Structure 1
């Protein structure tokens, strides 16, 4: 049974004549003829039947795969990789402590002349390639930096491992915040002693070439990072490592914070401005692991944001809401007005009572006592206090247990203004409640003064006198790879590919007595771990089409998910690192917006709690193609904790085909000669047009420097050559699995001493993926190097003006062949370089992601509805007004590319698996002409029915409701409900289509396009009313409705009409009926 997945719709315009039933047979004939012809065309072009037989001839079989085993294998690889990163940070951490302990601190740095360092902002950088644009702006450098002997000259080389950024892997560089002078004593000492970290940085990189940026941020704001590179100074530099999430989270742990913001009558003018800047700086030090609220107080005490009751999570969107509420606004006359009135007296007593009550309730909710040392803080921003409020603190912040008094909440006070009174009282408030007092005189002091609280709340970790555990951050963007810096070779990649998580450990300065009571926070050591490096270890090829992996934090936020969107129009989303799992993973449970069913809540809870488990046959709304296509399917979920992190990793496999894969009984890298097995020249299978998946790892060198390739195909080719020469061990892994009796970590055994020595030419491979790739290349070569066609097949292809035919396989291989324009077909020479006469982009330059392409997904999904069916599609317009640079539906010549695809499932016994997808592209204009020819066949009845006249509108509609063919070319790709919502409603009423809701929680809503309320009638409303009446009449005369014949005869599962046929005795016929 073979089908063409399309609906032929004939709409009869207003006519007084009744609709005769015999016209239904006409459409049946059209459908049969069109379906028969396109199917013959597909088979002629793609050779799908021959390819399916070829799998059998090459001795392939189908095996079951276990989702739990796939997950466990991925977890082992990822855990091993993350352990290496943790060990690298431990080396930085321990080395920093040792260096600082033995360093002779200078007391008057301004008198020191003989010292140099690499200043990321002001050193002179030279580039290996002349003409490489510097990231810094020479004209904007301060005068004191010019010809300054303290700044070294640093040579830079483009490094492919660091995304083609110009770096120096022999040296580290230093960033000092703009508001800090590098010759201030503490800053100078931090620069000097941290120089010796350069050695541990380089040793770490030599031991683990996959390491990304390494760094140490001191408590005085000095950031030393490796490898060395210039800092972006084209914009105002506001960077301070001490407010970065990796620094804050490692130094302070999670915390509950209530900020009391004074809005009394004395907090006007400049003091209010400084106070708001102080509040903003405090909020900048919070992360997704923290909880916060801000109370404004004068005579009364209320939440700054009315709907924020108790404590709310310190997500970027919540923090932004708080600060925006306090910011002034510009009135109609252009005057700046406060958003919150400043009046009355400051009732600090009432403010403290409300804050203490809130934090007490929080402890109750979390089931912790006042003596368990939770990080709970009250921060007061004011310009005056009437007294020391000792009674309040005795009542609300003193707990006596077994004769010992505890102070559960720390109090920090920020006194605003130059001329202030009662300073001792406000200082006493802080010091008597385990806090800290600062006096902020001006805006310039805000940042430095705010950050002092971090050293205070870091003290408990110091007093514990134990090794602090590594801390992992939520997802962050690597700004060196963004357009703002414009220095990397992959700035055009989407933001999701540039996410990193950071692992960091706080270091404490014990001086020479090793007394923890005298220690202080020295700084924080860390490194970035690119999320895409984790994704590659999750074996995406083994997950298969429509399967995927994901990583969720202990807060339920996504670090990795194929549907995570971090940027729109090149701009980062405010909440890109706080997108919840349930905002992307949508269960088909009929719930409305923001309503969660029990199943998705249970799945999320299991992930957040780090449980080891699975959940099978979950009904989901699987959406793809930018949420414009939806499939109601079932998926199986498997999940477990990533050991040593606050993250859980999971995989989702589609039911029905996600549990099978192709099994190669014979080794494609060998050939039989008699009874002996010999190596073969596998590059013979890669001599013409092909692409491999650019994000999958087939084989790779540990050190990319010196092994750069122009493209991933050339990189793979070089390894294929070595395989052919028997000069490569394909079983080499990137990370050797750690043994259960691994030596406990120590600076002597793990720092600079790799578990195995790596040479510059050492490599690693994915054995199964390489074998599958060679197998697919060998299998596809006879069918896609040339087109073996009969004259009849060639003439049929000309009718549709077919341009290219293609195949994509489960190994990530994509091949294509242009049947007419040979200049677009590529040849690959003996050195692996590909060439073609055509200078523009060809099929493989646009579609190279194989199983991740939309047409691949659609073909496989359609196979699960009807095993022998084609999918026909056209480009869809992007209707979202927010999106810029929308790709057009029509080509430059006014034509539209139509794509037909078919999924080849290889069956072995009772099991089958998606092995590949074949397809072809052709001209819409030719398709339309051929459609009109077929639908213009004369009928012998009383009247002739054709699509060419003005009496009828004819449409081809796909299963998602998008128009594939229309008499109006501008309607192609449009949703049919937009063109004629009343006809579509009729379809819904008769269960031909189904109404399914999915919610895009990551979208932006443009405020400027919201309609303004207007109670008056307008001409538009009047015309709309008339139009609605006419459309209703049109629906009443719609041809092919149930009063003519049974619609369900043409629709499968109430969704789409199928045109199919059966084959017997070598004769293939087409009939119409339901499935």
Structure 2
């Protein structure tokens, strides 16, 4: 059987002819060495240059903004008519009311109409355009236009430049009309600016769960805590403790944990489960809180230490506890009086005032966002007073562009108030921002010289990937950054854990490892050798690396002249990968015409012209042309250069594989093996038998034909059916065998013929869980600041329900593979009154196993439950994340948690801090608006 299969493949595929063709033209080829170290170093240099250029633009903008604001003379008597500016909400039509540029033109970079001769301003609907503070900001920010323009001249690739003010005003360049967000669904980009607002935090959220907070007050507390969690970034650590007579952690975390997306979700769910009972015991609650902050046997931010108390009020001041645990005032206490009640606010206000904190009141749901974010003004004081030492460009996590234009990262830099006026001198004026498309970064990496199984990737100090082929978020809500850990992007093992730590520590070198690799179609696993190269840490704190298979250290190149074109025109249907083979040669729909133009173009260029990947399609189009004919239904050949040829030509219309061979599952699998790989057509309940694997039609074995009491099957290395002697299996070719015969498949696993591995996808989409209508606690959807300020949201909420019906989730999938090197397996399966004997033999030099067994229908009473191989929602948050040790990371090196210059301007209760970046801009998010096909500037949408 094995000999027949290999002989058939060799003869029908034309492989020998390809080898012969290569040898016949050996003098036309040469092999060039490929230096992975040089490739990754060059790419890293280019990426570093790009990010540093954007950082310099941010620093120039922030510096000039601080100077302009400091030089500005405040006026209380401005009128709206005195300030001329383009309000982006006025669109592109001239109006008698305000100025509108008359030079809007479609721009290919922004994919919309823009004007490079002015800036645009967006002011949220709930902010009065004619207020004194807005008019003064419109006046002094106008000077930023020249700085925006100079940045664009120095870096033509720069996209939106944005200043988001503390008042909610946003000025951006180039000018572009606003889009009515009520007519377009979810056109808002979000990115986290918390890392630029304060130093890292160790936060303990303390929740009063006594009987007095039951009802509406408890609901307000739950929502307030959830909003508080959203103010935290991955550099922060957090836990939630609830208390009445006694105190306990709300979730299963016994210590503070990193405030990443996954951990915050767990805490939010736990907070929804808090119930009210008993009496208030502040001393017990604060004692538990201080003990949590004092535990040092785990990773911490080791900077700002904070306790956030949410309560309805009380008479106790807990002075004894503060004297015992916080006599040096190292821990700030922030207190929140929640709900409408008549309790004396004095005791909980005193807790905040005596411990360097602040007191806030949350009487209703409308006050939640404002008051759970104001604390960042207090924590920001040391940063402002520290001056330039605290000014660092922060690069956000990856997030998905709201118009599906891809992934971006954003650089942010706070703008400080440099005046000497109290208390404004300790506040943040706003945030400068520029973004970088990951596609722009990818273009700087030499993808097609790494080979199909090689790739370039980068991680940040938290271990999150900024670049990785498996970074493919699917969540359309854009409400969260994409925080995919390196170990979640790949298949985790002990070696990769060690490599991850070395990468974060900035260690250089290379590591050859043998690792499990998931196939492109994600249904199979294979064991492959990978060489990992690391380069030194860069100034932008991005750690860059490359992964290669052992086959890419040499690259062939050739020059075949007009013979190549002649041969190309004679054979089969040719598919060409949609690559930019030449920067000034665009692909044509007609592949023959394109390749002719390409070969003519190459003839006019030098062989090493940097404008072209000349070694790729030229080599492949010629060497693949002499295919022999053996009468099979169809055959094909695919190449690194992106050429796929299907023969006969008529078979091309049925070809469904990806034309880009670097993204083709069958192509990438074969490069990791010296085996003959047989792959059945993926099974579908509606597929006809004719769509099965054509090779299988040719390899029936006489011993199994027409034997009703014997099942003969051929499975591939993933456990999928390739061939069977049973008619009722013929329409299930390509289906996972564990669904068809679970009892036999389970024994094949127990006998070590197959091994399985569960993999998790942290970027999936699932249908939301059905909300119960019982009396128990339930989560409620709280509109974002963007939603609340967007009048159109209320009118279109029903229309948006379908687009918001999916939510981000974790899914798991089980892949089966050959791990044992044994060739023969035999055994007996069954139950008390019935048994089946089977014998399995791997077919040497292939990925197949032949199994003969007593027919399944002879022992139906022993039938087990189907083995699940398909992707399905995970019942957990991943592979035991709650018991495994925290993953290694490195936090920011600078900490600004105290400053002798910091002055006390009150602790709440009388007047709020004003102006507050976090009150009016939305605190945790700088909102970037996007319009008709491109990323767009920062805003709080109207």
Normalising by structure 1, we get a TM-score of: 0.65
Hey, what does 2:554 align to over in structure 1? 661
Preserved CA contact (<8 Å) 1:639 1:649: yes
Quote the offset at 1:42 in angstroms: 0.6
Quote the offset at 1:73 in angstroms: 2.4
Of 497, 504, 510, the residue aligned with 2:412 is: 504
Is residue 496 of structure 2 the alignment partner of residue 600 of structure 1?
yes
Preserved CA contact (<8 Å) 2:624 2:645: no
Aligned partner of residue 408 in structure 2, secondary structure: strand
Preserved CA contact (<8 Å) 1:262 1:381: yes
Of 106, 109, 120, the residue aligned with 1:161 is: 109
Is residue 94 of structure 2 the alignment partner of residue 112 of structure 1?
no
Aligned partner of residue 970 in structure 1, secondary structure: helix
Preserved CA contact (<8 Å) 1:889 1:973: no
Matches within 5 A, 1:983-1002: 983-984=744-745, 987=748, 993-1000=753-760, 1002=762
Hey, what does 1:561 align to over in structure 2? 468
Of 368, 375, 387, the residue aligned with 1:446 is: 368
Quote the offset at 1:157 in angstroms: 5.6
Is residue 795 of structure 2 the alignment partner of residue 1035 of structure 1?
no
Aligned partner of residue 821 in structure 1, secondary structure: helix
Hey, what does 1:896 align to over in structure 2? 691
What does the per-residue CA deviation read over 1:454-508, in whole Å, with 9 as the maximum and x for residues that have no partner?
A: 22211112212225443434533233323xxxxxxx5xxxxxxx22222211111
Hey, what does 1:771 align to over in structure 2? 614
Hey, what does 1:957 align to over in structure 2? 715
Quote the offset at 1:290 in angstroms: 1.0
Distance 2:848 2:575 in 1: 35
Is residue 639 of structure 2 the alignment partner of residue 808 of structure 1?
yes
What does the per-residue CA deviation read over 1:553-594, in whole Å, with 9 as the maximum and x for residues that have no partner?
A: 222222322234422xx656988733322233335xxxxxxx
Of 621, 636, 639, the residue aligned with 2:531 is: 636
Preserved CA contact (<8 Å) 1:509 1:521: yes
Hey, what does 1:300 align to over in structure 2? 246
Of 409, 416, 425, the residue aligned with 1:518 is: 425
Distance 2:32 2:331 in 1: 62
Matches within 5 A, 1:186-335: 186-227=133-174, 228=176, 230-231=178-179, 233-234=181-182, 245-305=191-251, 307-327=252-272
Preserved CA contact (<8 Å) 1:964 1:973: yes
Preserved CA contact (<8 Å) 1:623 1:630: yes
Distance 2:161 2:596 in 1: 32
Aligned partner of residue 55 in structure 2, secondary structure: helix
Distance 1:951 1:59 in 2: 57
What does the per-residue CA deviation read over 1:91-121, in whole Å, with 9 as the maximum and x for residues that have no partner?
A: 2222322222233444366x5245455555x
Hey, what does 1:862 align to over in structure 2? 673
Of 363, 378, 403, the residue aligned with 1:456 is: 378
Aligned partner of residue 466 in structure 1, secondary structure: helix
Residues 237 and 563 (structure 1), Cα distance of their counterparts in 2 relative to 1, 3 Å cut = closer
Equivalent residue pairs, number: 786
Hey, what does 2:736 align to over in structure 1? 975
Quote the offset at 1:293 in angstroms: 1.5
Quote the offset at 1:544 in angstroms: 1.3
Distance 1:237 1:419 in 2: 40
Quote the offset at 1:621 in angstroms: 0.8
Is residue 72 of structure 2 the alignment partner of residue 103 of structure 1?
yes
What does the per-residue CA deviation read over 1:223-245, in whole Å, with 9 as the maximum and x for residues that have no partner?
A: 3344535356238999999xx65
Distance 1:692 1:421 in 2: 74
Distance 1:32 1:438 in 2: 80
Preserved CA contact (<8 Å) 1:546 1:852: no
Aligned partner of residue 961 in structure 1, secondary structure: coil
What does the per-residue CA deviation read over 1:431-456, in whole Å, with 9 as the maximum and x for residues that have no partner?
A: 33332233333322332233322222
Residues 300 and 415 (structure 1), Cα distance of their counterparts in 2 relative to 1, 3 Å cut = same
The CA RMSD measured in Å over matched residues stands at 4.3
Residues 952 and 32 (structure 1), Cα distance of their counterparts in 2 relative to 1, 3 Å cut = farther
Distance 1:90 1:236 in 2: 34
Distance 1:154 1:728 in 2: 48
Quote the offset at 1:1035 in angstroms: 3.5
Preserved CA contact (<8 Å) 2:399 2:478: no
What does the per-residue CA deviation read over 1:327-353, in whole Å, with 9 as the maximum and x for residues that have no partner?
A: 3xxxxxxxxxxx433234332233233
Preserved CA contact (<8 Å) 1:246 1:472: no
Residues 538 and 269 (structure 1), Cα distance of their counterparts in 2 relative to 1, 3 Å cut = same
Aligned partner of residue 895 in structure 1, secondary structure: helix
Quote the offset at 1:191 in angstroms: 4.3
Residues 1004 and 442 (structure 1), Cα distance of their counterparts in 2 relative to 1, 3 Å cut = closer
What does the per-residue CA deviation read over 1:185-204, in whole Å, with 9 as the maximum and x for residues that have no partner?
A: 43444344334434433433
Preserved CA contact (<8 Å) 1:683 1:721: no
Hey, what does 1:434 align to over in structure 2? 356
Quote the offset at 1:928 in angstroms: 5.4
Hey, what does 1:585 align to over in structure 2? 490
Preserved CA contact (<8 Å) 1:156 1:229: no
Give 1 or 2 for the bigger CA radius of gyration. Answer: 1
Distance 2:847 2:670 in 1: 19
Normalising by structure 2, we get a TM-score of: 0.73
Of 678, 682, 703, the residue aligned with 1:876 is: 682
What does the per-residue CA deviation read over 1:589-642, in whole Å, with 9 as the maximum and x for residues that have no partner?
A: xxxxxxx63x333222112323223322x2211111343111123322222454
What does the per-residue CA deviation read over 1:355-385, in whole Å, with 9 as the maximum and x for residues that have no partner?
A: 23322334x866998xxxx222222222324
Distance 1:708 1:852 in 2: 21
Distance 2:337 2:216 in 1: 13
Aligned partner of residue 446 in structure 1, secondary structure: helix
Preserved CA contact (<8 Å) 1:410 1:435: yes
Distance 1:515 1:698 in 2: 61
Distance 2:830 2:608 in 1: 74
Preserved CA contact (<8 Å) 1:212 1:528: yes
Hey, what does 1:49 align to over in structure 2? 19
Aligned partner of residue 678 in structure 2, secondary structure: strand
Quote the offset at 1:250 in angstroms: 1.0
Unpaired segments ≥5 residues, structure 2? 771-827, 852-942
Preserved CA contact (<8 Å) 1:874 1:973: yes
Distance 1:148 1:33 in 2: 84
Hey, what does 1:356 align to over in structure 2? 290
Distance 1:76 1:715 in 2: 33
Preserved CA contact (<8 Å) 1:246 1:526: no
Of 656, 660, 671, the residue aligned with 1:849 is: 660
Preserved CA contact (<8 Å) 1:256 1:359: yes
Aligned partner of residue 836 in structure 2, secondary structure: helix
Distance 2:743 2:343 in 1: 73
Preserved CA contact (<8 Å) 1:550 1:649: yes
Quote the offset at 1:650 in angstroms: 1.9
Aligned partner of residue 862 in structure 1, secondary structure: coil
Hey, what does 1:124 align to over in structure 2? 91
Distance 2:586 2:391 in 1: 37
Is residue 611 of structure 2 the alignment partner of residue 781 of structure 1?
no
Distance 1:550 1:619 in 2: 18
Aligned partner of residue 340 in structure 1, secondary structure: coil
Hey, what does 1:762 align to over in structure 2? none
Of 72, 79, 93, the residue aligned with 2:41 is: 72
Matches within 5 A, 1:411-490: 411-418=333-340, 420-482=342-404, 490=405
Matches within 5 A, 1:1044-1063: 1047=841, 1050-1051=843-844, 1056=849
